[in-house]
Amino acid sequence: MIRTLDFVFIVMAGLVCLGLYGIAERARVAEADLHASERAIAREHDALTVLGAEWARVTQPARIQALVERHLDLADMPAVQLSSLAALPRKDALPTLGAPPLREDNFRLASQTLSAPDAAPEMTLAVFQAGQAGQAGQAGQAGQAGQVGQAGT
């Protein structure tokens, strides 16, 4: 009986040793994977540092300005050419969902109007004041029509 008991304990010790070896081997493989991942992270961090330095160099305003002057034919435009109230569509003439889309020739016509030498800020102010006077007149007429409609009911 003692010999069978010794045999069982020896088999159990062997199984425990095999289990412990399997766990140790999995831990070694996991550690190797961890070191490989850490090296990959370090390489990516170095690459990001290099890319950050390159991005800082590429996005310098002086460099961009030099590239623009060398490759693009851009010129500064006076503020009168950039905006004018006469170029804006009237509020009642805004396109609706069923209306055709705005065409490029409409924009070309507006830019030609604005680039004309007589399109001065004084003219823009006069158009703005005339538009305000027209809106005030329309609002007054609408208010009178509402009063008439209320009086009739």
Q: What is the DSSP letter of 63?
A: H
- Give whole-number Cα distances, 88 to 47, 48, 128, in Å: 50, 47, 11
More confident residue, 150 or 55: 55
According to the model, what pLDDT value does residue 146 have? 47
pTM to 2 decimals? 0.40
pLDDT of amino acid 91: 72
What tens digit of pLDDT does each residue of 19-31 get? Answer: 999 999 999 999 9
Q: pLDDT per residue over 102-125, tens digit each?
A: 555 555 554 555 554 444 444 445
Rounded to an integer, the average pLDDT of 35-48 is 97
pLDDT one-digit tens code per residue, 56-107: 999 999 999 899 888 888 777 666 565 667 777 777 765 566 555 555 555 5
Q: Note the pLDDT of residue 49.
A: 96
Cα dihedral: 13, 19, 23, 25 (round 10): 90
| pLDDT over threshold 60, residue 35 | yes
Residue 128: closest CA among 81, 87, 70? 87
